[in-house]
Structure 1
Amino acid sequence: MALAFCVLLLGLAGCAKAPYTGRSQLIMYSDADEAKMGLAAMQQVLKKEKEVTGTPESARVERVGRRIAAVAERPQYRWEFHTIEKDVVNAFCLPGGKVAVYTGLLDIAETDAELAAVVGHEVAHALARHSNEKMSRARMVQVGQLAAMVGVAAAGGSSQAAQAVGDGYAGAMNMAVMLPNSREMEYEADHIGLLLMAKAGYDPHAAIEFWQKMLKQSGGRKSDFLSTHPTEAKRIDALRGMLPEAMRHYRPRDDGASGGSGGGSGGKASGPGTGPGGPAPAGK
């Protein structure tokens, strides 16, 4: 019964499609719900973390972010680009266009094009509504787990047996649905992100250069069997396969910030106001 119910819910996923890829999605939350959750989550992050403003680093994040946002085709998003002072190689984009980049990542993403690869990837998660999809699938698993437990209890099983069946169901669904789907989302974000950076005038080859740096830093130690993220090596291979499509959208700009190995200058970080910053930040 639980499996049949989940199959029914997955069948309803056809009404939602991921942008660019057309992948069917299970989406249970509205755009308004997403925006509220994204805003609330970013407010919590900024309460706990130290934001950097008025520096070359924050200006660089803002400049690159605005160029990506300009081609994202989400006029309803109230884009924000925050720089967090922390020696962590991380970045994220919350629903509704709330982006944060940690200063530790800026030490690795030395060029604007490399930074655009990361920001494009994170923005792609928001455009494809991956957070919504993850929450929707988690909700599906919870309902299925409850249905399995009720089924055992209705058949005369003990509460301990019902709990064991429910836990087993949740674990199986996590391995069979949640983790593979999360890895699929990562590749999808790489695909969409590569197109975004190309449309914004950044050389897509820079994405491979960035992940080669990450691979060198990690030493190739990470296993991806139980990870929601593919290994750096697998990601690089996948990106190489995506490059021809991305390059068809690439038109280098003459501001010196487009380059990866395929052209343009290195696009090193520069001071505030030295690049196209785009419109004034919204929602700050």
Structure 2
Amino acid sequence: MRGIRKWWQALPPNKKELFKESLRKNKWKLFLCFSSFGLLFVVFYFTHLEVSPITGRNKLLLLGKEHFKLLSELEYEAWMEEFKNDMLTEKDARYLMVKKVVYHLIECNKDIPGISEINWTIHVVDSPDINAFVLPNGQVFIFTGLLNSVTDIHQLSFLLGHEIAHAVLGHAAEKASLVHLLDFLGMIFLTMIWAVCPRDSFALLGQWIQSKLQEYMFDRPYSRTLEAEADKIGLQLAAKACVDVRASSVFWQQMEFADSLQGHPKLPEWLSTHPSHGNRAEHLDRLIPQALKIRERCNCPPLSGPDPRLLFKLSMKHFLEESEKEDLNITAKKQKMDTPTIQNQKQIPLTYIVEKRTGS
């Protein structure tokens, strides 16, 4: 495009006028050409929409299944190479616990389209990172940092249900398709910028503005939308597995409280690819009544004991009161906490307490 601009600048004034006159005479042909291109783009877009069998939502898919499967395998090999020295053995108690939870979720949700067709494989990475993800080909990666951050098996079941939902809903392929589409449109925009801007510095500035607008107006908001959808479907998966779904929002309240204790800055949500901890907790609280009805329809045992959300609020109230009495500042308290959880992990062993459903 820089070459086109230089060519135009090198033309003598009379030839520039002739070129402009030619464009004016053929303006309807140009209009027809651009209109045809726009129509083809619209047809291309709508012919690549698919309906999700789970949510009923239309989604754009530009990559073929075989092509994306190959990309998933390459990504899996890259992760395995990175974590090859940090994998827990299949005899490790933490690995067995995660495997039991994942297979329980899969067994209780095998009626969902696509979930039984995926070959699910567990990988537990010995790392302090609070993270987990599932590749589109069913490779489940969970970090011990996350295992140390949950207070019970119900929270763990929901988090794994969330990651499984990403894979079943095909979010990775959907996100990649959006990126491809935006890159194509961005390329057209950049072509126009480099063709008309009189100086390279202006063109570079326009390119930077375009990339930031794409990131903060499309990429990140869309990513947050997919995260919210995975929370919703993951909660449903957990409900069908007879998990105490009320614990789901407590985890994000714990994370929000831990961040405040550790002095982490609270960034605006629009800067992140994920919803804020507080907003995720509120979103889940709105979905919990529906999830409880799903538990009932699946003939799950009634929930016993107090609501974990109430217990969390009471524990936080007690924590703050004790901190005030002892005149401890947040920094001193943070140093005593070896994990982001509110309670001592040694006092809350992760045991499989999700009861088996009594009926289908």
- TM-score, scaled to structure 2: 0.65
Number of paired residues? 267
Instruction: State yes or no: 1:66 paired with 2:103.
Output: yes
- Aligned-pair distance for 1:13? 7.7
For the structure 1 residues 153 and 215, does the alpha-carbon distance in structure 2 shift closer, same or farther, using more than 3 Å as the test? Answer: closer
Shift of 1:35: 2.8
The within-5 A match list for 1:212-227 is 212-219=253-260, 221-223=265-267, 224-227=269-272
Alpha-carbon contact 2:221-2:270 (below 8 Å) kept = no
Judged with a 3 Å threshold, the aligned counterparts in structure 2 of structure 1 residues 139 and 270 are, in CA distance, closer, same or farther, namely same
Of 119, 128, 136, 2:160 maps to 119
Instruction: Tell me, in whole angstroms, the C-alpha distance in 2 between the residues paired with 1:56 and 1:183.
Output: 34
- Choose the corresponding residue for 2:76, options 19, 38, 42: 42
Instruction: Identify which of 175, 178, 181 aligns with 1:134.
Output: 175
- Matches of 1:134 and 1:123 in 2, distance apart? 16
Structure label with greater radius of gyration: 2
Give the drift of 1:46: 2.1
1:190 to 227, 231, 256: 231
Partner-residue secondary structure (3-state), 2:284: helix
Contact 1:37 1:95 in 2 (8 A): no
Deviations 1:90-126 (A, max 9, x none): 1111112111110111112232211111101111111
**Would you say the 8 A contact 1:13–1:26 is kept in 2?**
no
Contact 2:153 2:351 in 1 (8 A): no
Identity of paired residues, percent?
25
207-216 vs 160-169, which moves further: 160-169
Q: Tell me the equivalent position of 1:279.
A: none
Amino acid at match of 2:287: M
Quickly say closer, same or farther: Cα 1:215–1:9, change in 2 above 3 A.
farther
**Structure 2 contact 224–275 (Cα < 8 Å) conserved:** yes
For 1:168, which of 209, 226, 229 is the aligned residue? 209
Which piece of structure 1 moves more, 232-241 or 173-182? 173-182
Q: 1:77, 1:96 within 8 Å by CA — same for their partners in 2?
A: yes
Task: Give the Cα–Cα distance (whole angstroms) in 1 for the partners of residues 182 and 207 of structure 2.
Answer: 10
| 1:236 is the counterpart of 2:281 | yes
Q: Quick one: distance in 2 between partners of 1:253 and 1:268? A: 23
Q: How much has 1:242 moved relative to structure 2? A: 0.7
Distance 2:60 2:236 in 1: 24
Mark the CA change 1:164 to 1:248 in structure 2 (over 3 Å): closer, same or farther.
same
Classify 1:141/1:15 alpha carbon distance in 2 versus 1 (closer, same or farther; 3 Å): closer
Give the unaligned 5+ runs of structure 2: 1-33, 309-347
Deviation, structure 1 residue 5: 9.0
For 1:91, the equivalent position in structure 2 comes to: 132
1:80 partnered with 2:114:
no
| 2:82 maps to amino acid | K
**Most deviating of 207-216 and 190-199:** 207-216
Q: Which residue of 2 aligns with 1:281?
A: none
Query: How far apart are the structure 2 equivalents of 1:136 and 1:200?
Result: 32
Q: Note the C-alpha offset of 1:15.
A: 2.2
Is the Cα contact below 8 Å between 1:13 and 1:25 reproduced in 2? no
SS class of match (1:243):
helix
Q: Amino acid of the residue matched to residue 269 of structure 1?
A: L
State the alpha-carbon separation in 2 of the partners of residues 125 and 113 from structure 1: 19
Q: 1:21 aligns with which of 50, 55, 71?
A: 55
Q: 46, 56, 60: which one pairs with 2:93?
A: 56
Match of 2:14 in 1: none
Contact 2:246 2:288 in 1 (8 A): yes
| Greater mean deviation of Cα atoms: 239-248 or 164-173 | 164-173
2:350 matches 1:269 = yes
- 1: CA distance between counterparts of 2:245 and 2:289? 10
Q: Deviations over 1:124-150 (max 9, x none)?
A: 111222111221111112111211122
CA pair 39-25 structure 1, distance change in 2 beyond 3 A: same
1:33 is aligned to 67
The match for 1:151 is 192
Contact 2:152 2:351 in 1 (8 A): no
Q: Is residue 204–residue 243 contact of structure 1 (8 Å, CA) maintained in 2?
A: yes
RMSD across aligned positions (CA) = 3.2
- Residue type of the partner of 1:168? I
8 Å CA contact 1:9–1:140 kept in 2: the answer is no
Q: Which runs of 5+ in 1 are unaligned?
A: 277-284
Q: Which secondary structure does the structure 1 equivalent of 2:266 belong to?
A: coil
* Counterparts of 2:82 and 2:46, CA distance in 1: 38
SS in 2 for 1:225: helix
